[in-house]
Structure 1
Amino acid sequence: MYIEQAFKYQHEFWRYLLGILIVIAAIIAGQMPFVVAIFMEKGFDTAGMDESELLRVLDSNLTLFLMLLPFAIALLALFFVVRHVHNQPFTSLTTARKKTDWGKFWFAFGLVAIFSIGVTVIDYFTSPEDYVFNFQAVPFLILLVVAVILVPLQTSFEEYFFRGYLMQGLGTLVKNRWLPLIVTSVVFGGLHFFNPEVGKLGNIIMVYYIGTGFLLGIMTLMDEGLELALGFHAGNNLITALLVTADWTAFQTNSILKDVSEPSAGLDILIPVLVVYPIFLLIMAKKYKWTNWGAKLFGKVEEPVMLNPSEES
């Protein structure tokens, strides 16, 4: 079982607190190059800028690189924590299976990629006035390299940290599944509160962010591993970065299209969470024959009985 296997390693709660502090320190250190680059470009004028203005100070590809760099550094820090603070193999943070199932990763990646591209193409042809063709070969190729390398590192860090490290840590502490699911989903969504999208669309967008956290958490618990969540999150963010940008989004890139419509918060927020996400889960449940939903999402986490050598003999 995915959460239960953390019991095999050093799982005292103080180790998780130490691990969280190390990861936070790594994120702060990783943000320094962006802060320095902005300051060198604008000096003390940056003090009065809001987040949207700060994101436009540098070249968009450089901005994307510097924004994603902290996640890559944090992923390395998390790897260090798991290996050396918990003496836990990283595979056990990925899956309850003997080895990582990359087929599941690519299935989830492809599922969300096909959906995102399909919806965008349909919207482009039904509402062409909402889009500007933004493609420029050289900037896009640079974006492609940056995004393909760093976006999966960003999404992998978030999955390993929230649905992996915190899910297992809280699970071993409270010995149930529902509380780690709720806490990791709400915290994951809550950390998006300062995104430019919230200022543009209002707090209702938090339904989408927290709902996405629940979707990824349910995938992880039902499938006893991170592979589906890793693939889904990477596919969603990578296609978004490459396909469509807007002046009010966290990722402002040299993408193929630019959305120039005035965004509205309403059904556009609720339909993905209430309709599309359940369909994704049903597709995965059918393909991977998920059963026993109640126990896997709300059941107890039981510490296995570890026999000492004398008892085994």
Structure 2
Amino acid sequence: MKHLESALKQENQWWKYLLVLLIGFLGGQIIGAIPLVVAMGIGAARNGGNIVTPDNPMDLSAYGIDPNLGLVLMVFPFLVMLFISILLIKAFHKRSFREVINGGGVFRWRRFWKGFLVWGVFAVILLVASLLFDRENYELNFQLSKFIPLVIISLLLIPFQAGTEEFFFRGYLAQGVGSWTKKRWLAVLLPSVFFALLHCMNPEIKEFGFWTMIPSYILFGIVFGVISILDDGIELAIGVHSVNNILSSIFVTSKSSVLQTPAMFIQKEVDPSGEFWGLLAVSIVFILVVSYKSSWNYQILFSGIQQKKEEHPEED
């Protein structure tokens, strides 16, 4: 094991993590939001200076912004945040991008694509089942001229959004928690809670309530954390997170969704509780399938974190 252990030899003062997280997040939100503010200003000018406040703040079409352009503008702050954070982590911790990913080895693309494809298959099966058994709850919204650009933008940019979140929570923050507590299960649990709290501003929280949606976000975080610990790196989690968000962007949206895109279907009524149990079932099946192929040792989750000799994950 190398991913969490690699951080033990480096500087892990709590205030450095706090500064990196705050500066990275605020820098991404302030600098990265400049194009969005400009686009909103142009939209307001075209509307005679009137500022419209939509029920869902993620619905940028209310500001006269094309939904596909809106998706680009929403992802851009994540790119800025990732760039700033890589520089800060190198300066404060002397830790490289690859060390945060898997302890210092090459980026394992096969792990990424394994997570992307396996989770993608299960998610599509769940979506098709939902469409078949709850057909009246979905409205066809297919517009070829908007759908093709949406697919291209989603495939190219959403992995950066998902990858940034995994870099922060299952990479950087998990290494910090692991270096402080020396316990892997806490390196799964605590970043998952922070991951959930980061999504408190999502419109789904406003629509369905904090205690309804937070368990789903925590479950997602725990799944990503568990597979990162077992796989000794975050490439698999990046793949899963990426395909999950891409499929959500392309195929299904709703009035309360954080992804307001010209998706193929509009979901009229969302059942958060039902979706939670569907997510749990897919997560269990996914972990069982991937662990069978990867020969994971689940006891690692409850083992201590100790400094070991140099070793790096290899591409397989």
Question: Would you say same fold, with TM above 0.5?
Answer: yes
Q: Could you tell me which runs of 5 or more consecutive residues in structure 1 were left unpaired when the two chains were aligned.
A: 307-313
Q: How many residues align?
A: 302
Deviation at 1:89, TM superposition (A): 2.5
Tell me what 2:61 maps to.
56
- Contact 1:200–1:248 (8 Å) recurs in 2: yes
Equivalent residues of 1:207, 1:270 under 8 A apart: no
Report how far residue 285 of structure 1 moved. 1.4
1:235: which partner in 2?
243
C-alpha change, 1:118 and 1:157, in structure 2 (3 Å) is: same
1:176-218 Cα distance to aligned partner (Å, 9 max, x none):
2222221100110121122112222333121111100000000
| Preserved contact between residue 208 and residue 270 of structure 1 (Cα < 8 Å) | no
1:102 pairs with 2:104: no
Q: What amino acid is aligned across from residue 197 of structure 1 in structure 2?
A: E
1:126 is aligned to 2:133: yes
| AA partner of residue 56 (structure 2) | E
Q: Distance in 2 between matches of 1:53 and 1:92?
A: 34
Rounded to whole Å, the distance in 2 between the matches of 1:24 and 1:98 is 26
- What corresponds to 2:150 in structure 1? 143
5+ residue gaps, structure 2, are 311-316
Residue number in structure 2 paired with 1:18: 19
| 1:38 counterpart = 2:43 | no
Counting aligned pairs with the same residue, the percent is: 30
Tell me which residue corresponds to 1:184. Answer: 191
* Alignment-derived partner of residue 300 in structure 1: 304
Corresponding residue for 1:277?
283
Distance 1:163 1:185 in 2: 8
Cα deviation for residue 97 of structure 1 reads 6.9
CA contact (8 A) 1:52 1:248 kept: no
Mapped to 2, the partners of 1:53 and 1:83 lie a distance apart of 33
Q: Which amino acid aligns with 1:37?
A: A
Shift of 1:287: 1.1
Contact 2:56/2:256 (8 A) holds in 1 = no
Aligned-partner Cα distance in 1 for 2:168–2:50 = 35
1:82–1:241 Cα change, 3 Å: same
Residue 86 (structure 2) pairs with residue 84 (structure 1): no
Paired AA for residue 230 in structure 2: M
Q: Does the CA-based 8 Å contact 2:162-2:238 persist in structure 1?
A: yes
Shift of 1:38: 2.4
Q: Is the 8 A contact 1:72 1:154 kept in 2?
A: yes
Higher mean alpha-carbon deviation, 77-86 vs 233-242, is at: 77-86
1:81-116, CA deviations, whole angstroms, 9 ceiling, x for partnerless residues? Answer: 233332222212111473222111111101121122
- Which residue identity does 1:55 align to in structure 2? L
Distance 1:263 1:305, change over 3 A: closer
Aligned equivalent of 1:286, options 276, 284, 292: 292
* Residues 1:282 and 1:97: Cα distance change in structure 2 (over 3 Å): farther
TM-score between the two structures when normalised by the length of structure 1: 0.88
Q: SS where residue 38 of structure 1 aligns? A: helix
- CA-atom RMSD, angstroms? 2.3
After TM superposition, the score normalised by the length of structure 2 is: 0.87
Q: What secondary structure is seen at the aligned counterpart in 2 of 1:132? A: strand
